[in-house]
Amino acid sequence: MFNMRFVSQDWVVSCALILLVSCTTYSSASLGKPENNIKTSVFKSPKIELGPGLVSNKFYFDVDFPRGHIALKSFNAELVDESEKSVPLQETYLHHWLIIKYHQPKNVTHNNQTDIVFVRNSGFCQDGTLIQYFGLGSETRGTATDIPDPFGIEVGNPSEIPYGYDEKWLINVHAIDTRGVEDRLGCIECRCDLYNITKDADGNPLSPDYKGGLDCCPDNTTCRLNKGFKGPKRTLYLKYTVKWFSWDNYVVPLKIYILDVTDVLNVSKGGTPKHNCEKKSIFKTIAIGEKLSSTSKGKIIFERRPTSAEK
């Protein structure tokens, strides 16, 4: 079984912020128009098959993506049916989708997972958490990801791809079919009792305090349906649109930082600082009917690079 923990175990309550940071000091000359016109490529993931109450949380390797040394200008995605119509959230809840870059030896077969080296973003989370380049959920549907000129996210740089390897991309889609379920809100919150889940992916018993989260709505589980409900299976896809152009000297490269409010920096004497982005709870339990209000703070230190005038 191939197990990857790209998202925080408490994605439902974790507040992640994608931050784009320029890694280059640029001059007025770089503000010129890119030499290449922006291209738009539209792709679809492999099919996602769902039935009433069913969960699909799969990883699709070596998906279609613009190739070559390019600058990404935007990446947007939505869940669609076989007619490419957007799927209503009241029918299928898109818990999250992620797109992740990786390197793999040349000449391996399609969808092979041998000798993969994941290429994370520039963020601070460790242990394989929040390494994606782009990724959203239903709550952020319609969020614009357009990057203004002269900036772009650099991918496909030959000098950054190890010799004998190819740069590839994978997509993770976590969708919950809510047609006919007994408790729609409970299903999308991944409440353990509604999925009849008592153990995590490794077979360890869940803590009595763990009432819901990703551990309770894994791939191929079913949320409790209304008695007697029957509905047809359906085939969906993640349709994603990429805007890009070939890399040139006019582009100011950006780096992606994903900041997580649950990130707690642990510094031990003589040890290496460790960012923990999987804190189990940041909210206090409140009684039903009370006003929900919670505040959490985090501190992240960015290295300041000297300007050309300071060097």
Taking 3-state DSSP, the helix, strand and coil percentages for the chain, each rounded to the nearest 5, stand at: 5, 35, 60
What's the average model confidence in pLDDT over 138-161?
87
What's the average model confidence in pLDDT over 186-211?
92
pLDDT over 50 at 280, yes or no? no
Name the pLDDT band for 40 (thresholds 50, 70, 90): very high
Report d(CA 18, CA 257) in Å as an integer.
6
Q: What is the pLDDT of residues 97-121, one digit of tens each?
A: 999 999 999 988 766 777 899 998 8
pTM of the model: 0.81
What's the average model confidence in pLDDT over 233-262?
89
User: CB under 8 Å, gap of 24 or more: what pairs does 267-275 form?
Assistant: 274/126, 275/124, 275/125, 275/126
In this predicted model, which residue has the larger pLDDT, 173 or 108?
173
Average pLDDT value for the chain: 81
Name the pLDDT band for 134 (thresholds 50, 70, 90): confident
| pLDDT confidence of residue 8 | 47
Least confident segment among 170-179, 275-284, 290-299: 275-284
| pLDDT confidence of residue 278 | 63
pLDDT over 90 at 23, yes or no? no
Name the pLDDT band for 142 (thresholds 50, 70, 90): confident
| Architecture of the 36-118+135-247 domain | Sandwich (2.60)
Q: Where are the domains of the chain?
A: 36-118+135-247
| Max Cα–Cα distance, the chain, nearest Å | 73
Residue corresponding to tokens 């985090």:
298
* CA neighbor of 39 nearest in space, from 7, 9, 79, 67: 67
Q: What is the pLDDT of residues 47-103, one digit of tens each?
A: 999 999 999 999 999 999 999 999 999 999 999 999 999 999 899 999 999 999 999
